[in-house]
């Protein structure tokens, strides 16, 4: 039987977290999925770990760190299966759930699907039940950090699937590739590229569906196992501003708006977008290195405008 799914991981110095992820993948029937690991110029034993744990996996070793987006794009160019599971190296796949999600692709309009992703092996604390758009069009994981008490037990259309564990139809990804052929936007490098891709899929008419079945456990290796959060306490706030995820998330949020938002959406959300922009501009005065965000935004503005789909201007 020819596998229908490619499980694709991108890692950078991920040797410490890979064994759990690879152990779960090793238990998947060989005829069910192929495995590809893209290594972003790691200096640890990541590649050796994959070779030892999964001898049949395809390993691509890049000469430089191209980030989440660039790494996955390299792998997606080689995909020959109709579906691809994008998986973080710190995510443990629950294959029974993935098999249930695959049935959603029987609807030809479905371009991506996601199930429940947990933060703990006992499946009590949620990590993501799909991505939703906030009033300022900043994508966030539904249910992140919440106890699972059934609040996300209904199937629903969502804004995007999370990059930690998302299942895509390959033909849908190819259909929304940018003019330069990129599926994930490589200028983003990391963070928000999954939300940007979801926006483009929906704009092209594809459905993105959440089904409430356990799909993965996300250990969140980056940031000492914690999600990115805010605090009003000065010390915690300063630490949050120093976190490189703040830089990438803020910059890529602005770029995502430039690329995708319609004028009608902008009119409806203007007060929320402006409030968020003003807040971060003020915080940039407290932590000057964050001013780099606005320099990057301005410098790359023509490039982001060029990536806009012309039809976006007139859409509701």
**Tens-place pLDDT, residues 48-71:** 999 999 999 999 999 999 999 999
* Residue 31, H or E segment: none
Between 236 and 230, the higher pLDDT residue: 236
Q: Are residues 99 and 10 in the same domain?
A: yes
Q: In terms of residues, how long is the chain?
A: 316
Q: Are residues 122 and 199 in the same domain?
A: yes
| Residue 236 reports pLDDT greater than 80 | no
Q: Are residues 61 and 170 in the same domain?
A: yes
Mean pLDDT of 129-146: 97
pLDDT of residue 224: 38
Domain end, chosen from 169, 190, 218, is at: 218
Instruction: Return the CATH number at 114.
Output: 3.90.550.60
pLDDT of residue 52: 97
Domain of residue 286 covers: 234-314
Residues 207 and 198: their CA atoms lie apart, in Å, by: 9
pLDDT of residue 85: 99
Mean pLDDT of 238-246: 74
pLDDT of residue 244: 81
| Residue 225 reports pLDDT greater than 80 | no
Q: Which sign, positive or negative, has the C-alpha torsion 157, 161, 162, 166?
A: positive
| Structure token pair of residue 180 | 């330069």
Residues 100 and 240: their CA atoms lie apart, in Å, by: 38
In a domain, 224, yes or no: no
Strands (E), the chain: 5-11, 33-40, 58-62, 83-87, 91-93, 110-118, 126-128, 131-133, 139-141, 156-157, 165-169, 207-218
- The DSSP code for 268 is H
pLDDT of residue 316: 41
Among the listed residues 155, 216, 151, 223, the one whose alpha carbon sits nearest the alpha carbon of residue 191: 223
Contact 101, 114 (CB under 8 A): yes
| Residue 230 reports pLDDT greater than 70 | no
Distance in Å from the first CA to the final CA of the chain: 45
Q: Are residues 204 and 283 in the same domain?
A: no
pLDDT of residue 284: 83
| Residue 152 reports pLDDT greater than 60 | yes
Q: Are residues 180 and 255 in the same domain?
A: no
| Structure token pair of residue 67 | 């980030």
DSSP, collapsed to helix, strand or coil, labels residue 231 as: coil
- Rounded to 10 deg, the angle between the 244-260 and 234-242 helix axes is 60
Q: Which of 38-42, 123-127, 157-161, 223-227 has the lowest mean pLDDT?
A: 223-227
Looking at 58-212, list the stretches that DSSP marks H as alpha helix, in order from N- to C-terminal side: 67-76, 95-102, 170-175, 193-203
Between 108 and 237, the higher pLDDT residue: 108
Q: Are residues 245 and 301 in the same domain?
A: yes
For 123, half-sphere exposure in the C-beta direction (CA atoms, 13 angstrom radius) is 14
Percent of all residues in the chain with a pLDDT value above 90, rounded to a whole number: 82
User: Tokens 């590739």, residue?
Assistant: 177
| Residue 229 reports pLDDT greater than 60 | no
pLDDT of residue 240: 67
In a domain, 186, yes or no: yes
Between 182 and 313, the higher pLDDT residue: 182
Query: What DSSP string runs through 82-100?
Result: SEEEEE-TTEEE-HHHHHH
Q: Which of 18-22, 68-72, 118-122, 279-283 has the lowest mean pLDDT?
A: 279-283
pLDDT of residue 255: 97
| Residue 139 reports pLDDT greater than 70 | yes
**pLDDT bracket for residue 26 (50, 70, 90):** very high
User: Tokens 């949620």, residue?
Assistant: 126
In a domain, 226, yes or no: no
In a domain, 294, yes or no: yes
Q: How many structural domains are present in the chain?
A: 2
| Residue 289 reports pLDDT greater than 90 | no
Contact 132, 140 (CB under 8 A): yes
User: Tokens 């299942």, residue?
Assistant: 167
């Amino acid at each position: 039987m020819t596998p229908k799914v490619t499980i694709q991981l991108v890692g950078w110095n991920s040797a410490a977290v890979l064994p759990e992820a690879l152990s779960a993948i090793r238990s998947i029937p060989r005829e069910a999925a192929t495995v590809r690991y893209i290594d972003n110029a790691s200096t640890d034993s990541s590649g050796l770990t994959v070779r030892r744990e999964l001898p049949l996996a395809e390993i691509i070793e890049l000469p430089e760190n191209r980030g989440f987006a660039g790494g996955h794009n390299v792998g997606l160019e080689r995909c020959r299966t109709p579906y691809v599971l994008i998986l973080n190296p710190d995510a443990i796949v629950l294959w029974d759930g993935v098999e249930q999600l695959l049935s959603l692709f029987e609807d030809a309009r479905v371009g991506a699907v996601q199930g429940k992703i947990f933060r703990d092996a006992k499946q009590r604390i949620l990590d993501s039940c799909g991505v939703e758009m906030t009033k300022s069009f900043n994508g966030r994981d539904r249910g992140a950090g919440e106890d699972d008490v059934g609040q996300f037990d209904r199937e629903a259309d969502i804004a995007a699937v999370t990059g930690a564990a998302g299942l895509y139809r390959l033909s849908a990804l190819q259909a929304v590739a940018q003019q330069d052929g990129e599926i994930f936007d490589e200028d983003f490098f990391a963070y928000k590229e999954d939300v940007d891709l979801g926006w483009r899929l929906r704009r092209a008419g594809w459905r993105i569906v959440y089904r409430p079945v356990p799909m993965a456990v996300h250990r969140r290796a980056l940031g000492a196992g914690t999600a990115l959060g805010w605090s009003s306490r000065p010390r915690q706030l300063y630490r949050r501003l120093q976190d490189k995820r703040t830089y990438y998330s803020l910059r890529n949020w602005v770029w995502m708006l430039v690329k995708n938002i319609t004028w009608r959406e902008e009119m409806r959300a203007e007060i929320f977008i402006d409030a968020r922009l003003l807040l971060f501009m003020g915080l940039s005065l407290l932590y000057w290195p964050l001013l780099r965000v606005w320099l990057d935004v301005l410098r790359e503005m023509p490039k982001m405008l060029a990536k806009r789909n012309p039809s976006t201007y007139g859409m509701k």
